Structure 1
């Protein structure tokens, strides 16, 4: 697939603000590069909520500081370590888990010692259920997505191992393939085996060398560390978020509802304060890990591939609607004709997605970059703003590619991914088309 295509525009018109020439393409927003007229027509916030809003503010505040540090150091900022904030976050996390342990102990005592009362075992069972809900849990391998092991895809794992060596870490034990426009790494099980989640919605729209950069970024998280990904701190963040949602006010329909809201008011805001404090203590280190992972992407795939990856990430919100359009079109007809239409839609789904995303012209990428800078766009509320990540990736080199992804290797990896691609194409079409 081509790294970037320049689509022919249908016409050119004058900007209503400054009169400069504005290329017009019916597929994309018409905007003026000279004065930014219509550069950002506006869109709803993709991640609403009070907690997400706080995290976005922290991400923006820390983003500029860390970006400046990374640019000054050429992408060699110190790895995430045991500084005062990290140690404080760890202690706070242990306290959060201590509350969960106390609930479990109290539940056991109520069940064992109050068995003859009737009500105490019921309360004890409720406390045990709450403790089970709040306990830290290591991720598991998903049952609904294709999972590849080394024997299933030796060339893919060979590529991952080579990228891991380039960024200073080991490979993974399993690769989970999903249809999402995303990717990630984590550990699974109590033995903390490594898992990579590879979303075809992102993988398929990337040119070969940008795929190497993507693997370099994800494996960079293992190389540099991220406290929020650990079972202790990450589990505490999840536990506090669960508390906050459980204590959320309910619509007042009577006196009982108002009484419950009044009783839970102070605990709810205490939990909110602890969650914000934990975010303050961990988000800076977490964002530094993201910048370091971006530097790893540049070292593995090249600086050009890393910055290109950042541009492609700006297209991620468009992948879901594109897949939905495909599935809806396939489900418009019923009967045998409809089944044939769905089968045709499944065949070549990912190739068509790559072709459409590859046809995005440079002026649309430039618009998205400017929108990212205006909004402080990030992948989610815990990531640094994308435009700062791109700027730092560009400043952390220039690096040549340490790992190359030639046609022979790409063909071999594509063959290994073929069963998962076919299965997920069918799932995408069936989920929407019915």
Structure 2
């Protein structure tokens, strides 16, 4: 083998074709896929996670075909499975309401006597099982409209494309991700992870906003108010019925009594997951279409490619942030964190196309997705490329991009200091 700079040249040990590669990344053969996925697929933790992966891969091809036909029946989320999921969720909430009603009955009927004990217990149980709406986390780094009018104006413009309402709050964090959620009954929140935002082009950022805001138009039943809160209630039930570890004789009998109700709760969680899985994946495909309409098909596909290499984003941040922390004098200052985002962007821009292609092929083999609830990324990318290419409805403007960058300068510095101060888990 001979090497020059960052490049290596060697014959493929499997097919003999000459391989030219960047030695910073995995050396592989594009002709025969030798060493395309040296690590192999990671085993999903938990039976439910493994089941979700299998479902995503099994039904992914079928769903892509359905969506490609343009048949409106496949784009409508009001399916029999979705209605059944709502019915189950309402039943779960009805049980919680019955517990509350029983608690009040015992409390009133046995006021001042022993009957108050079961009444208080039932009310306490119903309180912990109540439907809980999302709240703004206390540690959230909120970017208000007055602090970032240009960013909010861009979000408003993207939201107007599908005719949905814009967000009320933007939160900035240190995750290589982005998401939207509801706060309370009406408020909407967009969370932007700076490690992802920083490595995207301006047009890809518009595609990202289009994707996230698209979830409000094509909602995922699983994360809706009715079904989502029922999931939380069932999870609480499952926790209460968890077997006692290292039990005494009496506790062993209690564990035995818990077996049937625990299996019933677990079965309901699994059933809800099965009923809503197709809706969740369809929501992702439709959000991808919204990304293409907002930022262009090219930008949406580029966003997909960035999602394939988020592991490289995290690895680079780990190396850069922890390196700066080790070189620091103890208390993290702005100087210690300076240049973190620039170093991350330089690295991501230097990733060769061969490495991106390797990640695509490895991802297709593994059924790679952002998480177990998302459809495989290679299928999402294929659906975008097989659809008629769309131009950008919202175009990146250099001056607007500069103003948005200025609005994010404060949070950028704060998150960089946080990453350097606290370090990053490898």
SS of match in other structure, 1:16 = coil
Pairwise mapping of residues 53-64 of structure 1 onto structure 2 (< 5 A)? 53-64=50-61
Quick check: 203-212 or 144-153, which moved more? 144-153
Match of 1:151 among 146, 154, 166: 146
Tell me if 1:318 matches 2:312. yes
Greater relative contact order (CA < 8 Å, ≥ 6 in sequence): 1
SS of match in other structure, 1:36 = coil
| 1:353-389, Cα deviation, whole Å (9 max, x unpaired) | 2222222111111111111111111111111111101
Equivalent residue number for residue 23 of structure 1: 20
CA contact (8 A) 1:167 1:216 kept: no
CA contact (8 A) 2:67 2:74 kept: no
Counterparts of 2:364 and 2:311 in 1: how far apart (Å)? 16
Tell me if 1:303 matches 2:269. no
SS of match in other structure, 1:130 = helix
Quick check: 364-373 or 268-277, which moved more? 268-277
Equivalent residue number for residue 360 of structure 2: 369
Tell me if 1:430 matches 2:426. no
CA contact (8 A) 1:300 1:401 kept: yes
Match of 2:249 among 255, 278, 302: 255
Match of 2:90 among 79, 94, 97: 94
SS of match in other structure, 1:175 = strand
Tell me if 1:129 matches 2:120. no
Tell me if 1:406 matches 2:387. no
* Aligned pairs, number: 421
CA contact (8 A) 1:47 1:380 kept: no
Match of 1:419 among 385, 401, 410: 410
SS of match in other structure, 2:423 = helix
Counterparts of 1:256 and 1:333 in 2: how far apart (Å)? 57
1:123 Cα deviation (Å)? Answer: 4.7
1:224 Cα deviation (Å)? Answer: 1.9
Match of 1:229 among 199, 216, 223: 223
Match of 1:292 among 263, 270, 286: 286
Equivalent residue number for residue 3 of structure 1: none
CA contact (8 A) 1:172 1:193 kept: yes
User: For residues 73 and 353 of structure 1, do their structure 2 counterparts lie closer, same or farther at Cα, with a shift above 3 Å needed?
Assistant: same
CA contact (8 A) 1:295 1:396 kept: no
1:114 Cα deviation (Å)? Answer: 4.1
Equivalent residue number for residue 388 of structure 2: 397
Q: Which runs of 5+ in 1 are unaligned?
A: 1-6
Counterparts of 1:77 and 1:355 in 2: how far apart (Å)? 45
| 1:315-349, Cα deviation, whole Å (9 max, x unpaired) | 22333333332332233256xx3447x53332222
1:250 Cα deviation (Å)? Answer: 4.2
Tell me if 1:14 matches 2:29. no
Pairwise mapping of residues 196-235 of structure 1 onto structure 2 (< 5 A)? 196-235=190-229
Q: Which runs of 5+ in 2 are unaligned?
A: none
Pairwise mapping of residues 319-398 of structure 1 onto structure 2 (< 5 A)? 319-333=313-327, 337-339=329-331, 342-398=333-389
Counterparts of 2:175 and 2:129 in 1: how far apart (Å)? 27
Pairwise mapping of residues 68-147 of structure 1 onto structure 2 (< 5 A)? 68-73=65-70, 78-114=74-110, 116-117=112-113, 121-147=116-142
Taking structure 1 as the reference length, the TM-score comes to 0.90
RMSD: 2.4
User: For residues 127 and 406 of structure 1, do their structure 2 counterparts lie closer, same or farther at Cα, with a shift above 3 Å needed?
Assistant: same
Counterparts of 1:338 and 1:403 in 2: how far apart (Å)? 45
User: For residues 343 and 69 of structure 1, do their structure 2 counterparts lie closer, same or farther at Cα, with a shift above 3 Å needed?
Assistant: same
Counterparts of 2:24 and 2:208 in 1: how far apart (Å)? 27
Quick check: 94-103 or 131-140, which moved more? 131-140
1:124 Cα deviation (Å)? Answer: 4.2
Counterparts of 1:402 and 1:69 in 2: how far apart (Å)? 26
Pairwise mapping of residues 185-196 of structure 1 onto structure 2 (< 5 A)? 185-190=180-185, 192-196=186-190
| 1:53-79, Cα deviation, whole Å (9 max, x unpaired) | 2222222222111111122339x7754
Counterparts of 1:259 and 1:300 in 2: how far apart (Å)? 59
Match of 1:243 among 237, 240, 258: 237
Taking structure 2 as the reference length, the TM-score comes to 0.91
